[in-house]
Structure 1
Amino acid sequence: MHIRLYTKMNCPLCDKAKAILTELQADYRFTMEEIDIYQDDALLEQYQLMIPVVELDGEEIGYGMIEKEVVRKRLRQARNG
């Protein structure tokens, strides 16, 4: 499983989302890639008002206020196929 976390600098919600994902890595095996939307104009246009955005294996599973239990449920579903 692979998670992409779309973030930006000085974003408390992004920091919280990263902390949640880091905690969940203890229970679920996944790689995490953090992407700064300000490094790509297309990403900036797409996600500017939604940050942070969590994407699991190419599917957007949450944005803004990231809920740990929502992400946990999606990771469990992905793991169990």
Structure 2
Amino acid sequence: MEITFYTRNQCPLCQDAKLVLLELKKEYPALTIDERNIEEKDEWTEKYGLMIPVVEMNGELIQYGIIDPFTIEERFKKGIN
């Protein structure tokens, strides 16, 4: 299962979210995290600039802003089954 994680440099919420995702990865080794800096593409900046951090799974928006490990884990479990 892959998570796409949209972030940007010098974003405290993004740093917190990354720690949450890395902890989940320890529990679920099959989880992969594709981290994307929105500053690399104008379309990402336009789409996610006011929302970051953003977590998507299989193209579906799961959460943005303050990332809650319980919400991400529940969605991940649904994706496994």
Q: Tell me which amino acid in the other structure corresponds to 1:27.
A: E
Equivalent residue, structure 1, for 2:12: 12
Equivalent residue, structure 2, for 1:63: 64
| Structure 1: runs of 5+ lacking an equivalent | none
Equivalent residue, structure 2, for 1:54: 55
Q: Tell me which amino acid in the other structure corresponds to 1:26.
A: K
Equivalent residue, structure 2, for 1:30: 31
Structure 1: distance between partners of 2:64 and 2:26: 22
- Flag as ranges the 4+ runs of structure 1 deviating above 2 A: none
The count of aligned residue pairs is 80
Structure 2: distance between partners of 1:26 and 1:8: 23
Relative to the length of structure 2, the TM-score reads 0.95
Structure 2: distance between partners of 1:24 and 1:31: 10
Structure 1: distance between partners of 2:34 and 2:41: 15
Q: CA deviation at 1:57?
A: 1.6
Structure 2: distance between partners of 1:77 and 1:7: 24
Q: CA RMSD in A?
A: 0.7
Q: Tell me which amino acid in the other structure corresponds to 1:54.
A: V
| Structure 2: runs of 5+ lacking an equivalent | none
Relative to the length of structure 1, the TM-score reads 0.95
Equivalent residue, structure 2, for 1:42: 43
State the percentage of identical aligned residues. Answer: 44
Q: SS in structure 1 opposite 2:61?
A: strand
